[in-house]
Amino acid sequence: PIAGWTAAKILWVKENQPELFQKCKHILLPKDYIVYILTGKSSTDVSDASGMQIFDVKKRNWSDEVLEKLDLPKSLFGEVHESQEVVGTLLPQIAKTCGLLEDTLVVAGGSDNACAAIGTGTIREGEAFISLGTSAVVYTHLDQFAQTKDGGIHLCCRCTCDPRLSGAGAVPHGARACS
């Protein structure tokens, strides 16, 4: 796994702080933690999950093969949703604290660059954008899943209402493609 991404970080904790890893009940990305606090449900969306290096982009679910190889229990990882899907509603105490109705819907959301693609209008094959920030990404879309032979492009899911479509992008330590 690429050292800066989630799978490598999980393995580092597992190998270097096993007592901490044993206490772990959920592994959540930042937006997914917020969804957990709001709904009490451990979940993620396909666009963020596909950047964790333990996700099968083509099947749009956790990779049993990778999880087995890394000896990571699938139970640590939440239910996977499409980005626009409803995860649940607000917990009663959260609704009360925020002054919202308990039946307020909470959706899965999406990764930063997958959402930025929508915001920049980069939603069709052949369109691309560059994101310079914590990472440097060249992001483009593909109309269908495209497996890379050498692993030089990271495949990930995009967060549009048409989950069949794919995207691609390059990051400083390799390349990234989104499905």
pLDDT in tens, 80-91: 999 999 999 999
Q: Which two tokens stand for residue 144?
A: 């269908």
Residue 47: other Cβ atoms inside 10 A: 28
What does the pLDDT look like over 128-163, one tens digit per residue? 888 887 777 788 777 777 777 776 677 788 887 665
Q: What is the pLDDT of residue 31?
A: 96
Catalytic residue IDs: 112
With a cut of 60, say whether residue 1 has pLDDT above it. Answer: no
Mean pLDDT of the chain: 85
Q: For residues 172 and 63, which has the higher predicted lDDT (pLDDT)? A: 63
- Percent of the chain past pLDDT 90, that is, above it, reads 54
- DSSP H/E element including 175: strand 174-178
Under 8 Å between Cβ of 27 and 36: no
